[in-house]
Amino acid sequence: MKYFQVTILSKGKKSTEVVEATNKMTAMKIAKKNNPGKIVQKAIETSAPSGAELGNIIGNLKKSFEPKINLNSKIAAIRQIAVMTDAGISIHDAITEVAVNTENPKLKKIYENVASDINAGKSIADSIEPYKEEFGHIAIAMTNLGEKTGNIAGSYAKLANILEDIRDNLKKFKKAIRTPLITFAAMAVAFTILIMVVVPKFKAMFEKFDSALPVPTQILLFLENVLNNYGLYVLGAMILIVYLALRQYKNDEKFKYRVDKILVHPKFYLIHKIIFFSTMHKYTLVFGELVKSGIPVSEALETAVDMVENAYIKEKLLSVNANISRGISLSDAFEQTGLFENMLLQMIRAGETGGQLDSMLGKVTEYYDSRFQDLIDNLAAYIEPIMLFFIAGLVLLMALGIFMPMWDLGKAVK
């Protein structure tokens, strides 16, 4: 969120107030709502008012400790809405019924608010929009699809299927990465204990050497000194750095763009493929569903690109929307992004020519899904070389750091 200084005119007198909003237009809308009957002249971005920064940090900390909505609870609620609306029950009554029956208190409160907003005349998409963080971009996109096509039941049934796929993929990912993480953690703990407990035993002996100690031994002694004397400070600094980096990533669009660009760079081992294939799978899935439902390609592109979270990929896909509006074919617009393989471009081009675009988009979605599934299924095999290199490096440093001075001591005795 950003802060804007809004100038307000009332009875010939000017006044200003600071408004927190995502952009200038939103800030002016908020100011107009807060000052009915007055004229909002302009909004200029400004620094956060005194105390606001601390309030945001405290608010974020409180929010981080709040219990999150379980994915299974969301899937169950969405599935219930799909079934009830398919049976002819109005969307307001369906959401009200779900709010009554759901056991998750946070989800219950959200659906109560959504039902109240719908009853007040708001659209379903507008009612759910404030809870984008809880539901995700896909839920917003599929809600828009349901409203545009008049088939909320079908869209929510598809949304439930998509979320179930995401849940299954997440389970597979956690299962695949569990063993490497446990191994890394065990090695890190063991190495820290050796540095803090074993190395000090040799330290007094090492200090008696007149000659310079080997580089591995100097590294171990340096680490021992840092961990034993400044361990808590190092841990606190690491936590603070991670927190500030995550906060900067959420609030600074330029910083987010740079990080997202690095994450999808081919040199960023393995991670770039996971992010790229999962993002492209979800994008083509939503886009294909919209086209299949009869939504114009330009509108389908706008809705599908909204659920892309990676800023670098999103910027490239937004160029597709701009090129389509200039009269460029879909396949050519996709080609200019550099994100699609030639085989996929040929499939899309054939779909455009033969009037089977929705069918070909389904094939493209299946391709990205198969590539993503292959990565998840073989994740442990991909991580194994890194894990072995990490373990070998720690063992080698420990062995050389302790035994090299002992060899020198044996030579001196002889």
Q: Is the dihedral of CA 100, 106, 107, 109 positive or negative?
A: positive
Q: How many CA atoms lie within 13 A of 14 on its CB side?
A: 6
Round to whole Å and give the CA distance between 216 and 205: 16
pTM of the model: 0.69
pLDDT, residue 228, reads 82
What residue has token string 């109560």? 112
Q: 3-class secondary structure for 68-129?
A: CCCHHHHHHHHHHHHHHHHCCCCHHHHHHHHHHHCCCHHHHHHHHHHHHHHHCCCCHHHHHH
- Could you tell me if 135 and 70 are in contact, meaning their C-beta atoms sit under 8 angstroms apart? no
pLDDT, residue 68, reads 67
Using DSSP's 3-state secondary structure scheme, residue 223 falls into helix
Alpha helices in 309-356 (DSSP H): 311-325, 330-337, 342-354
pLDDT, residue 52, reads 53
Residue 185 burial by CB count (10 A; 0-12/13-18/19+): exposed, middle or buried? exposed
pLDDT, residue 240, reads 92
Pick the closest to residue 376 from 185, 182, 171, 162 (CA basis).
Answer: 171
pLDDT, residue 241, reads 92
Structural domains in the chain, sorted by start: 2-65 (no CATH), 71-165 (1.20.81.30), 209-413 (1.20.81.30)
Using DSSP's 3-state secondary structure scheme, residue 412 falls into helix
Q: How many CA atoms lie within 13 A of 273 on its CB side?
A: 14
pLDDT, residue 237, reads 92
pLDDT, residue 48, reads 65
- Could you tell me if 358 and 291 are in contact, meaning their C-beta atoms sit under 8 angstroms apart? yes
Tens-digit pLDDT profile for the chain (414 aa)?
Answer: 567 888 888 777 778 888 877 677 777 778 777 777 778 877 887 766 655 554 555 555 445 445 567 788 888 888 898 899 888 888 888 888 888 888 888 888 888 888 888 888 888 888 887 787 777 777 877 887 788 778 888 888 888 887 887 788 778 777 777 877 788 888 888 888 888 877 777 776 666 665 567 788 888 888 888 888 888 898 899 999 988 888 888 888 888 899 989 888 877 777 888 888 888 888 888 788 778 877 778 878 887 887 788 889 888 988 888 888 888 888 888 888 888 888 888 888 888 888 888 888 888 888 888 888 888 878 777 777 888 888 888 888 878 877 777 776 655 555
